[in-house]
């Protein structure tokens, strides 16, 4: 507001009116700017809400894709195990038939044979055949099991020597396996089942690279760390070498990619070497390839040395002297297979036990209520009817926590964690009389 004194000079009036018009214009300009600011704020808030929703949707999609990728990777790993088992089928089936031939024909001959020495030799041959079959079964189960990696300290020398027989059976007759290991080979920290599968994959690839036969050389050696290489870590190398056709640079560049294969359709999925590479990475190591066309290929696993002590093979078991003690008492045997139950009842009888047999967990709990005294419950794990030996053991722990329990299974690895959580030993099938004696002694010792 401006006050003018009379008489008003024209120039003063004009100046005041111009100032008032400029102020009015500034007011309209400020109002316009404030309105624009409010509109921009609303627009920005709308954009923030919209972008937040987009990010939420993208995050949800990413989580779904990650879960799907993990599922696919797990399926691929399992598919590779099945493919590896398929590679084993021909040779192993042939050998199982040979083992069964020794046992069935031996039994027929024993019925006709009365010479004690010849009967003893036949029994020994059948016993050896049964042990070989049991070892093959355990290795096949190790290949087929499906679980996350469970690394442990592994004696590589022992595992490589144990694998030689199975590798020999899964390869062609014109392919030989030669194992050469450095003395005092260091242990490594890996999943033993996955390591065996990796070795099988490498051996099968080496076999396929030698259609005319040859020798697969498996070498193991210690590689002390150097500060300039790999951070100075001590490594253990396991190499599988063939004398096949070798690889071109182009093939070598893609050999670890999933589904990449040079084999004919239907003869390979291209997952074998991808699984080898993934195993090495998950185990903290790496893989190297040395190949030359017309000379052959060497694939080397480099695994970090483990400084942990190797587990004792019988650290938790009773001594042989303890196992040889005469056993007495009563055992509740829970086994659904009639033939197995009859045999195990005889074995327990030879060990000095009275046996009460039931065919399932429900019947076992009924027998437990009626029995005057029991020293041990010995139960199979896999049984029909919906309840397993693990379920029975849990119920026994609730009702009779002082009663020793021993479990057995032909697929012991699948249930070992559940049993160990309850402090219960699992005896792997097949087992012999001495194995049973030792396991019972250990179960009774834990009670004391």
Query: In this predicted model, what pLDDT tens digit does every residue of 277-296 receive, in sequence order?
Result: 878 888 888 889 998 888 89
Predicted local confidence at residue 241, as pLDDT: 94
Residue ranges of domains in the chain, CATH in brackets: 174-190+201-304 (3.30.565.10), 320-447 (3.40.50.2300)
The percent of residues in the chain predicted with pLDDT above 70, rounded, is: 79
Share the mean pLDDT of the chain: 80
Closest alpha carbon to 191 in 284, 69, 258, 86? 284
**Mean pLDDT lowest among 23-27, 80-84, 114-118, 349-353:** 80-84
Mean pLDDT on 205-234: 82
The CA distances from residue 63 to 50, 57, 69, 342, in Å, are 20, 10, 10, 54
**What confidence tens digit (pLDDT) does each residue in 220-247 have?**
999 987 655 556 688 999 999 999 888 8
> Per this entry, what is the length of the chain?
448
Q: In what order do the strands lie in the sheet containing 329-334? A: 353-358, 329-334, 376-380, 405-409, 426-428
pTM score of the predicted model: 0.49
Q: Tell me how far CA of residue 253 lies from CA of 249, 287, 289, in angstroms.
A: 6, 13, 10
Q: What is the pLDDT of residue 221?
A: 94
Mean pLDDT calculated for residue range 33-42: 90
Task: Please write the tens of the pLDDT for every residue from 248-259.
Answer: 887 787 777 665
Which residues, 6 or more positions from 261, have their beta carbon under 8 angstroms from its beta carbon? 268, 269, 270
Q: What is the pLDDT at residue 319?
A: 41
User: What local confidence, expressed as pLDDT, does residue 324 receive?
Assistant: 44
Residue closest to 179 by CA, chosen among 136, 241, 92: 241
Does the pLDDT at position 318 exceed 50? no
């Amino acid at each position: 507001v401006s006050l003018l004194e009379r008489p008003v000079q024209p120039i003063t009036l004009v100046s005041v009116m111009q100032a008032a018009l400029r102020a009015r214009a500034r007011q309209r300009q400020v109002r316009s700017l404030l309105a624009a600011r409010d509109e921009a704020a609303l627009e920005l808030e709308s954009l923030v809400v919209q972008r937040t929703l987009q990010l939420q949707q993208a995050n949800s999609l990413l989580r779904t894709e990650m879960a799907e990728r993990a599922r696919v990777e797990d399926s691929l790993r399992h598919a590779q195990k099945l493919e590896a088992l398929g590679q084993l089928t021909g040779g192993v089936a042939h050998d199982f038939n040979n083992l069964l031939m020794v046992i069935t024909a031996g039994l027929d001959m024993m019925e006709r044979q009365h010479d004690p020495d010849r009967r003893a030799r036949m029994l020994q041959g059948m016993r050896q055949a049964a042990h070989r079959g049991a070892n093959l079964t355990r290795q096949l189960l190790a290949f087929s099991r499906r679980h996350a990696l469970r690394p442990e300290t592994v004696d590589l020398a022992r595992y490589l020597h144990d694998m030689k027989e199975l590798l020999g059976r899964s390869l062609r007759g014109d392919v030989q396996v030669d194992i050469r290991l450095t003395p005092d080979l260091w242990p490594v920290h890996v999943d033993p089942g996955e390591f065996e599968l990796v070795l099988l994959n490498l051996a099968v690839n080496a076999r396929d690279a030698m259609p005319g036969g040859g020798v697969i050389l498996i070498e193991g050696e210690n590689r002390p760390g150097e500060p300039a290489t790999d951070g100075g870590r001590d490594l253990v190398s396991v190499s599988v070498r063939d004398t096949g056709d070798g690889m071109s640079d182009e093939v070598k560049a893609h050999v670890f990619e999933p589904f990449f294969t040079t084999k004919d359709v239907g003869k390979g999925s291209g997952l074998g070497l991808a699984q080898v590479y993934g195993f090495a990475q998950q185990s903290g190591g790496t893989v190297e390839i040395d190949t030359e066309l017309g000379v052959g290929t060497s694939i080397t696993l480099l695994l970090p040395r483990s400084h942990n002590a190797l587990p004792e093979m019988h650290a938790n078991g009773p001594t042989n002297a303890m196992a040889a003690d005469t056993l007495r008492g009563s055992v509740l045997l829970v086994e659904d297979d009639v033939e197995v139950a009859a045999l195990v009842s005889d074995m327990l009888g030879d060990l000095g036990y009275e046996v009460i047999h039931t065919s399932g967990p429900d019947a076992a709990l009924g027998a437990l209520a009626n029995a005057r005294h029991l020293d041990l419950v010995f139960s199979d794990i896999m049984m029909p009817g919906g309840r397993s030996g693990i379920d029975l053991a849990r119920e026994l722990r609730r009702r009779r926590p002082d009663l020793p329990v021993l479990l057995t299974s032909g697929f012991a690895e699948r249930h070992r964690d559940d049993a160990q959580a309850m402090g219960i030993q699992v005896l792997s099938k097949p087992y012999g009389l001495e194995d049973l004696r030792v396991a019972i002694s250990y179960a009774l010792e834990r009670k004391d």
